[in-house]
């Protein structure tokens, strides 16, 4: 039996930008229903605050697992209407800074954990470890998150290890280059094959 209160408590510190309305814990996935906190939102085009709601949308990003079980948020966000007549932005969707990035299907904190695991266990190992942590990310998702990690400056490696991954099955490939001495990722290149490596 899921202790709803403990789930809310565990999630709450990171979800302070939201008002949690309900938690469903009966299925394989814990679903947390929430709304944004309301109040006026500043128009991104003209900078004028508006409290006029044009419509509601639901965003359903994956969030950090609880108790090894995957969590999906169902967040009702508002589409606001700018009240300045000659503003170029008639309506705009409110954002949830610090928690949700525009167009992303995972919360920022889940993406952070995913990247940390993938960075340590580049490639196939992370695809085996992530499900055990309750993070539902296929190998392709893991590799995409790897591609977005900025690369720090590193000394030139002496021995390279090379592997390639399918970003989409049988379509897009990427080649990962690893410093064989340290195990650190050197680069991730689009495409695969000898020519990519030579370039
Ligand atoms: Zn405006």
Distance from residue 154's CA to the centre of ligand 1 (Å): 45
pTM exceeding the 0.85 threshold for the entire prediction: no
Which tokens sit at 158?
């002496």
Report angle CA 196, 122, 179 to the nearest 5 degrees. 60
Distance from residue 48's CA to the centre of ligand 1 (Å): 6
Identify the band that residue 118 occupies on the pLDDT scale cut at 50, 70 and 90.
Answer: confident
What does the mean pLDDT of the chain come to?
A: 78
More confident residue, 52 or 2: 52
Domains of the chain, by residue range, sit at: 4-102, 112-198
Q: What is the pLDDT of residues 30-69, one digit of tens each?
A: 899 999 988 999 999 999 999 999 999 999 998 988 877 8
Name the phi and psi angles at 114, rounded to 5.
Answer: -60, -45
CB-proximal residues (5 Å) to ion ligand 1: 43, 45-46, 82, 84, 87, 89
Q: What is the pLDDT of residues 135-179, one digit of tens each?
A: 776 666 666 666 666 555 556 666 667 666 666 666 667 777 777
Distance from residue 96's CA to the centre of ligand 1 (Å): 18
């Amino acid at each position: 039996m899921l202790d709803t209160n403990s789930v809310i408590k565990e999630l709450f510190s990171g979800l302070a930008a939201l008002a949690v309305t309900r938690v469903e814990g009966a299925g394989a996935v814990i679903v947390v229903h929430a709304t944004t906190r309301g109040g006026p939102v500043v128009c991104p085009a003209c900078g004028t605050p508006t409290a006029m709601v044009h419509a509601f949308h639901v965003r359903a990003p994956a969030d950090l697992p609880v108790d090894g079980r995957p969590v999906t948020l169902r967040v009702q966000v508002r589409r606001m209407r700018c009240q300045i007549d000659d503003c170029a932005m008639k309506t705009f969707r409110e954002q949830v800074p610090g928690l949700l990035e525009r167009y992303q299907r995972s919360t920022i904190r889940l993406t952070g954990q995913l990247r940390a695991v993938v960075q340590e266990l580049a490639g196939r190992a992370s695809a085996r470890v992530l499900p055990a942590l309750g993070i539902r990310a296929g190998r392709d998702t893991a590799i995409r998150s790897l591609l977005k990690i900025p690369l720090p400056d590193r000394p030139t490696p002496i021995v390279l290890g090379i592997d390639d991954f399918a970003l989409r099955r049988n379509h897009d490939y990427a080649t990962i280059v690893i410093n064989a001495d340290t195990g650190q990722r050197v680069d991730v290149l689009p495409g695969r094959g000898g020519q990519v490596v030579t370039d």
